[in-house]
A and B are shown apart, each in its own frame.
Chain A
Amino acid sequence: ILNVEQSPQSLHVQEGDSTNFTCSFPSSNFYALHWYRWETAKSPEALFVMTLNGDEKKKGRISATLNTKEGYSYLYIKGSQPEDSATYLCARVGSQGNLIFGKGTKLSVKP
């Protein structure tokens, strides 16, 4: 994997469902992985910055895990709410320190 890949591209769930999505990235030369939440008509906002293999981070109902050896991170949302509807972006830190983004997973939560 040369770049950051996210799956699925989009997801529709019912309120109360728990969900998760995947971010895959090159496992070599790992520096850090970022997750952002991007609501329509707003700017991306950081959820997590993860640097160590095995990292698990949590913010309310949202949590993320990191596996740098196999090159993936999972984002979990427990008990989805309509206000969780957004595009979730992950980004790896490149060798130049720049952020390389995936195309995102668009989550829609129906009441």
Chain B
Amino acid sequence: DAEITQSPRHKITETGRQVTLACHQTWNHNNMFWYRQDLGHGLRLIHYSYGVHDTNKGEVSDGYSVSRSNTEDLPLTLESAASSQTSVYFCASREDMNTEAFFGQGTRLTVV
């Protein structure tokens, strides 16, 4: 069965370190998204991509970057982790604008 997976599921890192969260989907979806979930804010869009080599900034993109070198993967990098980036991160993919999004299991990141 096709799926979308995130790794790691949990990570603790120190302030200032570079961290990369992986997202891999097997649906061959062109559209992929990264969200963060925080109390009182719901899901906020960090970055998104509509195909290989395409990346776009979302609502809360500062301090994050993504790259899309193939259809299946959209890794999210925190260039220099900050305590404000402690959050739960969700990756999602979908076929096109009028279809549902499928979400990964989430990655809980703690920056200490």
Q: Which residues of A contact B (CB under 8 A)?
A: 31-32, 34, 36, 42-46, 49, 51, 89, 91, 93, 96-104
* Whole-angstrom distance between the Cβ of B40 and the nearest chain A Cβ: 7
Question: Taking the nearest CB of chain A, how far is it from the CB of B10, in angstroms?
Answer: 12
Inter-subunit contact A32/B97 (CB<8 Å): yes
Pair A98/B33 contact, Cβ less than 8 Å? yes
Q: A43-B105, A98-B33, A98-B48 are in contact. Are A103 and B41 (CB under 8 A)?
A: yes
CB distance from A25 to the nearest CB of B (A): 14
B69-91 interface code vs A (CB 8 A; 1 in, 0 out): 00000000000000000000010
Question: Size range of the interface on B?
Answer: 20 to 34
Give Cα A100–Cα B45 distance, bound, in whole angstroms.
Answer: 7
Contact with A along B25-55 (1 / 0, CB 8 A): 0000001010100001111110010100000
Question: When A and B form their complex, what is the total count of cross-chain residue pairs whose Cβ atoms lie within 8 Å?
Answer: 54
Is B16 at the interface (CB under 8 A from chain A)?
A: no
Minimal beta-carbon separation of A94 from chain B (angstroms) = 9
Tell me whether B56 is interfacial, beta carbon within 8 Å: yes
Nearest A residue to B4 via CB reads A43
Specify which chain B residues have a CB less than 8 angstroms from the CB of A99 in the assembled complex. Answer: 33, 45, 92, 101
Query: Nearest CB to that of B106 among chain A residues?
Result: A43
- Establish whether residues A34 and B97, one from each chain, have CB atoms under 8 Å apart when the complex forms: no
What chain A residues lie within 8 Å of B106 (beta carbons)?
43
A100 to B46, CA, bound (A): 11
Q: Which residues of B contact A91 (CB under 8 A)?
A: 43
A49 touching B100, Cβ below 8 Å? yes
Set A36, A51, A98, A101: member contacting B98, Cβ < 8 A = A51
Q: Does B58 contact A (CB under 8 A)?
A: yes
- B101 touching A34 by the CB < 8 A rule? yes
**Residues in A whose Cβ lies below 8 Å from that of B50:** 97
A-B contact pairs, 12 of them (CB 8 A): A42-B105, A43-B103, A43-B105, A44-B101, A44-B103, A49-B100, A93-B98, A98-B48, A99-B101, A101-B35, A101-B43, A103-B42
10 extra interchain contacts, Cβ-Cβ under 8 A, other than A103-B40, A104-B42? Answer: A31-B98, A32-B98, A34-B100, A46-B100, A93-B97, A96-B56, A99-B45, A99-B101, A103-B41, A103-B42
